[in-house]
Structure 1
Amino acid sequence: MKKLFYPAVFHKDEGGGFWVSFPDIPECLTEGDDMEKAYEMAVDALGLALTSRKEEGDVIPVPSAIDEIKNNDGILVIVEFDMMRHLKKHSAKAVKKTLTIPEWLNEEATSEGVNFSQVLQDALIRKLNMKS
């Protein structure tokens, strides 16, 4: 799960600015003093809602198609959220892993001063086609 795109409805607020709702994520609401700030807040709110659902093991809904959204009172905007970027920024805690390699390989790597953790991280990033 990398970049996610969800439709949002930007409603003009009577007091100025916009309030934002997400048809697919009813608990996700936010606001901003202008369109730019409302969009920034929408990205943050969407990220919080999605990561919260993920952490709690709840379903992350499939975004609705634009033509399926009933919108009579706002501006339909697609909001992008980069889940991987968010996780890299907020989940940097190290996790200990136990692994097994042949003794000869361990001896050779140790004699060369190989950082096993870094090699494993680099290999996983390549294997998963991710950017570090």
Structure 2
Amino acid sequence: MKYPVIIHKDEETGYGVTIPDIPGCFADGDTQEESILNIQEAVELYYHGEDISEPPAASQMEDLLNSELYTRDSFLYLADIDFAFIAPKTQRINITVPEYKLIRIDRAAKDKGISRSAFFVDSAERLIRNLSVAKTVGRRQKKSVLP
């Protein structure tokens, strides 16, 4: 899942990463690249031993631009954080798909280099995220027409 993070550089230190959607979770590194690579590990360590059933919702980058966490000396980055570690157990499901659609799905999954199951899950997550964004945009539009 993609999460906006704020990367900042202090004068005499390396780079720090604030993850606004996970308050209290931070990553760092000597370089920008290293700090970005350390985000996944920081999240896993933060949640180690915690009992959570699903990842937190991701903020919109636009909302963070007005946040007190975002300053002139920082920049936003969209980090891909894999939350598979919170519920590593998988469940087998049975679905019915028209054969011609399954062929198209299998081709697309192969092109991406992932399994059919991963393709279904990734597609469902993307749809859920897009629906959430559309719902948020719809609310913002409604608010903007109110006096």
TM range (shorter): 0.5 to 0.7
- Relative to the length of structure 2, the TM-score reads 0.51
Offset of 1:63 from its aligned partner? 0.7
Residue 10 in 1 paired to residue 7 in 2?
A: yes
- Alpha-carbon distance between aligned partners in 1 of 2:32 and 2:52, rounded to the nearest angstrom: 32
Q: Flag the structure with higher strand content.
A: 1
Q: CA deviation at 1:125?
A: 7.3
Computing the radius of gyration from Cα coordinates, the structure with the larger value is 1
User: How many residue pairs were aligned?
Assistant: 94
The code of the aligned residue for 2:2 comes to: F
Question: Matches of 1:17 and 1:77 in 2, distance apart?
Answer: 16
Provide closer, same or farther for how the CA distance between residues 36 and 47 of structure 1 changes in structure 2, counting only shifts above 3 A: same
2:101 match: none
How far apart are 1:41 and its partner, in Å?
A: 0.9
Unaligned runs of at least 5 residues, structure 2 = 96-115, 120-147
TM-score (norm 1): 0.55
| 1:124 is aligned to 2:92 | yes
* Cα pair distance change 1:60/1:83, threshold 3 Å: closer
**CA 1:87–1:125: 2 relative to 1, 3 Å:** farther
Match of 2:42 in 1: 45
Deviation at residue 45 of structure 1 after TM alignment: 1.1
* Identity among equivalent pairs (%): 27
Partner of 1:56: 51
Question: Superposition RMSD on alpha carbons, in Å?
Answer: 3.3
Query: Whose relative contact order is higher, 1 or 2, with alpha carbons under 8 Å and at least 6 apart?
Result: 1
Counting only pairs closer than 5 Å after superposition, residues 1-132 of structure 1 correspond to structure 2 as 4-49=1-46, 51-52=47-48, 55-57=50-52, 60-69=55-64, 70=67, 71-72=70-71, 73-84=73-84, 86=85, 124=92, 129-130=117-118
Could you list the structure 1 runs, at least 4 aligned residues long, displaced by more than 4 angstroms after superposition.
Answer: 125-128
Report which of the two has the higher share of helix.
2
Give the secondary-structure state (helix, strand or coil) at the position aligned to 1:26: coil
Cα deviation 1:102-121 (Å, max 9, x = unaligned): xxxxxxxxxxxxxxxxxxx9
Q: Which residues of structure 1 form unaligned runs of 5+?
A: 93-120
